[in-house]
């Protein structure tokens, strides 16, 4: 069993100010797989002061110095790549293939992309008679989730360090193993003391302290919309910048001229990826009413092919959800869908047949769903797809936008002009067309209650920079 009882502050592994521990549960077995220390405001204060002191020099470091640091982190990550994949599979139940090819790979990818961008990023430009300089904002508090743990750590830490900021990181206490391993990578890479600091803990104890600390200049938060609102409220008195990547209830509009089997298959499999625990999952499939019955049959057949089980077993395509809390929430929402009269196409409450232990959920499809139902309104964050009929393109777009969220949208059809017309009317930050997804240079973020700001690629640098105008400068 792993024991991670120290924090990383000012380049050293240190004990918490007030000892307090938490068990980490392997969701596939329900067994304790690690213990971590839980921090407090006092630990955050130490980390923030270390980051503030380090910023005095790191904030004025050269591009070449930061390139060398990022290159060293990339190399250290590559050396621990398999360890990272193992940690993610253990802490949040990702099947080995997903942990290796998507979860761990995305963490390395964001670091490598930031290194590439830094080589030629323009920190200065002329506008009229003024020289515009982009400078690091300062000390950044980074609060990350459990569903794509190292992806979200890396896509925040990489641009922050690239532009010259120092950071205080709080990984999720639900899935903290990858965050601890990432911190070991930072240490092994020789990042200067105080530039990167990590304090484990929960939202009330550590997240609140980060978002309200006067020495922290900005907060980047990924998590639920409810928690994001609290972060913004805590940050308001100090007028710090807050960027947020929050929830989603993304529509997947299937047009009449599409290859229905291919489109439904893509949508269903994408929904089940990461056990449905992705904020941009295509959880609402909008289907022409005349095609709904055929689409249901396809969705049921695809769901039947999903192999749910031990994340370490060969052939497993879907693991457990992350925790008992999530399992119970999802079971409650599946039951709510049944009670509200939605048509249960496949799946339902309880564990899959033959599985007696672990937080495994039946992959579930509802149909004949309307936007007044809880399963259409709430972010379930599990392998539950709702299918919704529509009678016109205008109605489909209205249903798609009838949500407080706006993170992602999906459109599938053969007529490119019609596809683009529909995509342009979806109020969301990322639109995926005919199964295509963005790459690590694509800005990622949402409209409305899905957050603000953008991560990934060159756009991900922006939130970590201040803009200074030198008027009359040569």
Residues with catalytic roles: 245, 279
**Chain centroid, CA 31 distance in Å:** 25
Residues 100, 437 contacting (CB under 8 angstroms):
no
Q: Which residue is associated with the tokens 């609102």? A: 229
Q: Which residues contact 84 (CB under 8 A, 6 or more apart)?
A: 77, 104, 107, 150, 178, 181, 182
CA gap 5, 14 in Å, rounded: 9
* DSSP-assigned states of every residue in 204-258: IIIIHHHHH-TT--EEEEES-HHHHHHHHHHHGGGT-EEEEE-----EEEEPTTS
**Which residues 6+ apart lie within 8 Å of 291 measured at CB?**
254, 256, 260
| Whole-number Cα distances in Å, 4 to 33, 199, 317 | 11, 11, 30
Q: Are 212 and 238 in contact (CB under 8 A)?
A: yes
How far is Cα 245 from Cα 69, in angstroms, rounded to an integer? 27
Task: Provide CB contacts within 8 A for 321, sequence distance 6+.
Answer: 27, 93, 275, 276, 277, 327, 330, 359, 360, 361, 381, 382
Which two tokens mark 107? 């963490």
Rg (CA), the chain: 23
């Amino acid at each position: 069993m792993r024991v991670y009882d120290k924090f990383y502050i000012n380049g050293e592994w240190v004990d918490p100010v007030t000892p307090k521990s938490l068990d980490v549960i392997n969701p596939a077995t329900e067994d304790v797989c690690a213990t971590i220390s839980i921090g407090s405001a006092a630990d955050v204060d130490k980390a923030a002061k270390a980051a503030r002191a380090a910023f005095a020099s790191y904030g004025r470091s050269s591009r070449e110095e930061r390139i060398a640091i990022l290159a060293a982190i990339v190399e250290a990550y590559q050396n621990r790549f398999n360890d990272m994949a193992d940690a993610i599979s253990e802490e949040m139940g990702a099947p080995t293939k997903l942990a290796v090819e998507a979860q761990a790979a995305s963490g390395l990818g964001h670091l490598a992309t930031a290194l590439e961008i830094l080589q030629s990023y323009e920190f200065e430009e002329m506008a009229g008679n003024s020289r515009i300089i982009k400078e690091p904002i300062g000390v950044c508090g980074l609060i990350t989730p459990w569903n794509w743990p190292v992806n979200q750590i890396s896509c925040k830490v990489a641009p922050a360090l690239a532009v010259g900021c120092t950071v205080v990181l709080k990984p999720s206490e639900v899935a903290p193993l990858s965050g601890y391993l990432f911190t070991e990578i930072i240490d092994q890479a020789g990042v200067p003391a105080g530039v990167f600091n990590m304090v484990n803990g929960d939202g009330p104890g550590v997240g609140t302290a980060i978002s309200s600390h006067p020495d922290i200049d900005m907060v980047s938060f990924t998590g639920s919309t409810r928690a994001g609102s609290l972060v913004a409220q805590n940050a308001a008195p100090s007028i710090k910048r807050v960027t947020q990547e929050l929830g989603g209830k993304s529509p997947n509009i299937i047009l009449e001229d599409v290859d229905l089997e291919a489109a439904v298959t893509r949508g269903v499999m994408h929904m089940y990826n990461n056990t449905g625990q992705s904020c941009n999952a295509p959880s609402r499939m909008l289907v022409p009413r005349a095609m709904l019955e055929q689409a249901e049959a396809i969705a049921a057949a695809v769901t039947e092919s999903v192999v749910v089980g031990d994340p370490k077993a060969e052939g497993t395509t879907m693991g457990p959800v992350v925790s008992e809390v999530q399992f119970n929430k999802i079971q409650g929402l599946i039951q709510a869908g049944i009670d509200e009269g939605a048509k249960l196409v496949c799946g339902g409450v309880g564990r899959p047949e033959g599985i007696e232990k672990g937080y495994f959920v039946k992959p579930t499809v509802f149909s004949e769903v309307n936007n007044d139902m809880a399963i259409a309104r709430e972010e379930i964050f599990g392998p539950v797809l709702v299918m919704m009929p529509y009678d016109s393109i205008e109605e489909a777009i209205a249903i798609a936008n009838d949500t407080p969220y706006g993170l992602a949208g999906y459109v599938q059809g053969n007529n490119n002009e019609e596809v683009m017309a529909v995509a342009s009317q979806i109020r969301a930050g990322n639109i995926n067309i005919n199964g295509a997804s963005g790459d690590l240079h694509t800005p990622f973020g949402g409209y409305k209650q899905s957050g603000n700001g953008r991560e990934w690629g060159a756009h991900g640098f922006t939130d970590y920079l201040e803009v200074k105008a030198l008027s009359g400068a040569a």
